[in-house]
Copies of this chain bind each other. A is one copy, B any other.
Amino acid sequence: MRADARKNYDHLLAVAQKVLQEQGADVSMRDIARQADVGVGTLYRHFPTREALLETLLRSSFDDLAAKAAALENDAAADQALVAWLADIIGFTHEHRGILAPMMSAIEDPDSALHDACVRLKAAGASLLRRAQSAGLARADLDGAELFDLIAALAWLREQPAHAARSERLFSIVRDTILRVDR
């Protein structure tokens, strides 16, 4: 990459990170280019789609979540490992406001730049679930796709301002359903 291009690329990423943090993942592409003092075309040249930008920005976070899942595979308590990871995912989507919608589209669109990251997350969750099920610590009649739906639904709720106060309560309800705990 040419030096000027590299500089634009890096600067764009830095600015995008800040702007996404402040405005959410659905901020306008124009706004990002504007804040970076760069033509819109330059933004699109480096990141042909919003998903490509999000993927680049969040790659390390996705890697962290995958690594965390892998580490938790060796955790003694298979149920607590699963729950801890679910909480991490929800925390992640909550930190990155607006990321859920593109992720939900990406999971069924193999051409999306976010597709692989989503598939990895889903697989990691499924694996943790299977392990908990093998240990008899999670309900057996649940598969990875259903688990993903439940997490996505909780993540969506968490994005609703009205719901904020009940966030932890509902997480624990769903958690107990997954683990099949009676209280």
Contact = CB atoms under 8 A, between A and B. Distances in A.
Interface residues of A, number: 28
A169 B146 contact: yes
Contacts of A145: 166
Interface in A109-153: 141-142, 145-146, 149-150, 152-153
Contacts of A163: 149
Nearest to A161: B108
Quick one: which of A146, A149, A156, A161 has the most chain B CB within 10 A? Answer: A149
A157 B174 CA distance: 15
Nearest to A178: B173
Contacts of A157: 149, 152-153
A108 B162 contact: yes
A146 B173 contact: yes
A36 B152 CA distance: 38
16 contacts: A104-B160, A104-B162, A108-B162, A142-B173, A145-B166, A149-B157, A149-B166, A152-B160, A153-B154, A153-B170, A156-B156, A173-B177, A174-B177, A176-B177, A177-B177, A180-B182
Given A104-B160, A145-B166, A149-B170, 18 more contacts: A107-B162, A108-B162, A141-B183, A146-B166, A146-B170, A146-B173, A149-B157, A149-B163, A150-B170, A152-B157, A153-B153, A153-B154, A153-B156, A153-B170, A156-B156, A176-B177, A177-B177, A180-B182
